[in-house]
Amino acid sequence: MSVLENLPGRHCSIAASLEVVGDRWSLLAVREVSFGNHRFTEILEGTGAPRDRLAARLKALVAAGVLERRRYQDAPPRFGYHLTAAGKDLLPVLRALMAWGDRWVVDEPPVTLLHHDHELVSETVCATCQEPVRNRDVTRRANSPT
Amino acid sequence: MSVLENLPGRHCSIAASLEVVGDRWSLLAVREVSFGNHRFTEILEGTGAPRDRLAARLKALVAAGVLERRRYQDAPPRFGYHLTAAGKDLLPVLRALMAWGDRWVVDEPPVTLLHHDHELVSETVCATCQEPVRNRDVTRRANSPT
DNA sequence: CCGGGTTGGTTGGAGTATCGAACCGACGCG
DNA sequence: CGCGTCGGTTCGATACTCCAACCAACCCGG
């Protein structure tokens, strides 16, 4: 909640999420780590971010609990970045963004996701009633008075 | 594809998507429009964005085909913003971000989504095999040589 | 017909963030 | 010893963002 208080506009978890991962490089950094690129230089090249920005973002993501900085060698001390539980939980967001980009931005998907050994076609269902979620079936209820 | 060519880092639809909606206000603007706030002033207050930034982003989102600018009165000419098909297709992204924020950023969800008349609990399944998607079952294949 | 309010912006200047390039320390390798 | 690698940090120029003010076009009350 505390994050929301200092935010302009509507109280909403979307705004709260964007406050954490809504900048230009964070989600790409998470993508790289999820692709198995744990080292600073790998993430640097994978994202294309400037070094200083990447260093700052990684620090912030560690502070936010999205990434974990783990020592993988002692002399000299070197660290790799790994997804925390919160970080792994971002993968559905990345898959949704990727599906959207595949459909509406790029001509041809540069990367295809595979589920077991067939192509992954994500569909969202409501866990309660097992029905596929269509936009028109979704409404919202505000919980806080503001 | 053309979007990707001029981008630093890995060729990937996530980066392409972020190029369109990855800035500070775009997704919040889409959220507001999806909440039924179609007028400039409504979006302005809902997002908390500065007027000039919002004007610029709305223009860009219309150009990108995410929003549509529709005249709703003639004298003086006034326009409202509406979701295109591409814009509606962003709602799963927003729901994923909201779910993540609910779980990892805020203490208590400020807004709850309802599906029909029960709480919406989104779950992603693979449309091909109907199985819930777990991160460890997903791999990726690069399509382009680069 | 005059003044004020609403809507949907645009403009200007100050402050802030981002960028690329250079630099740095600690090591390993030959 | 000199060079390369890795993971950053520092610097100065540039770009972007913010806020406040302004604006045009219209409506309404008096």
- Contact yes or no for B110 and A11 at CB 8 A: yes
The C-alpha atoms of residue A17 and residue A97 are separated, in whole angstroms, by 14
CA distance A27 to A1: 22
Q: Which residues of A touch B133 (CB under 8 A)?
A: 92, 95, 115, 120, 122
pLDDT value of position A4: 79
Q: What's the whole-model pTM score? A: 0.95
Please determine, for residue B1, whether its predicted confidence score (pLDDT) is greater than 80: no
Average pLDDT, chain B: 94
Query: Exposed, middle or buried, B65 (CB in 10 Å: 0-12/13-18/19+)?
Result: middle
Q: What is the pLDDT of residue A145?
A: 64
CA distance A4 to A11: 6
User: pLDDT of A111-120, one tens digit each?
Assistant: 999 999 999 9
What is the distance between the alpha carbons of residues A111 and A108, in angstroms, rounded to a whole number? Answer: 9
The pLDDT-based confidence of A3 (bands split at 50, 70, 90) is: confident
**For the ranges A7-11, A30-34, A57-61, A107-111, which has the lowest average pLDDT?**
A7-11
pLDDT in tens, B32-83: 999 999 999 999 999 999 999 999 999 999 999 999 999 988 888 889 999 9
Nucleotide nearest to B25 (CA to C1'): D17
CB contact under 8 Å between B126 and A126, yes or no, is: no
CB contact under 8 A, A124 and B92: yes
Rg (CA), chain A: 18
Instruction: Return residues with beta carbons within 7 A of strand C.
Output: A 23-25, 49-53, 56, 75-76; B 8, 39-42, 51-52, 55-56, 58-59, 69, 76, 78-80
Instruction: State the DSSP H helix or E strand holding residue A84, giving kind and residue range, or none if neither.
Output: none
Q: Which residues of B touch A99 (CB under 8 A)?
A: 13, 92
**A57-83 residue pLDDT tens:** 999 999 999 999 999 888 888 899 999
